[in-house]
Amino acid sequence: MTAGRGKGKMNAADAAARIIRGIEGEREDVFVGKTKLLWWISRIAPSVARKILENQ
């Protein structure tokens, strides 16, 4: 799924561990990898966030 996506990839085990910690901590939002940055971009400039997602 992440072939050809460059550096900074998170492996599935780390992603799952972060999600589980978020659920156990009863967090409403759990950001994994670079999703927190995308969340902020979508708040400041939604059209830019949309373009980022379309180009991925």
Residue 16 resides in a domain? no
User: CA-to-CA distance for 37 and 15, rounded, in angstroms?
Assistant: 16
User: CA-to-CA distance for 49 and 56, rounded, in angstroms?
Assistant: 11
pLDDT score at 45: 95
Residue 51 resides in a domain? yes
Per-residue pLDDT of the chain (56 residues; tens, 9 = 90+): 566 666 777 888 998 999 999 999 998 889 888 888 999 999 999 999 999 888 86
pLDDT score at 56: 67
The residue segments making up the domain with residue 47 are: 31-56
pLDDT score at 6: 67
User: CA-to-CA distance for 30 and 36, rounded, in angstroms?
Assistant: 9
Residue 10 resides in a domain? no
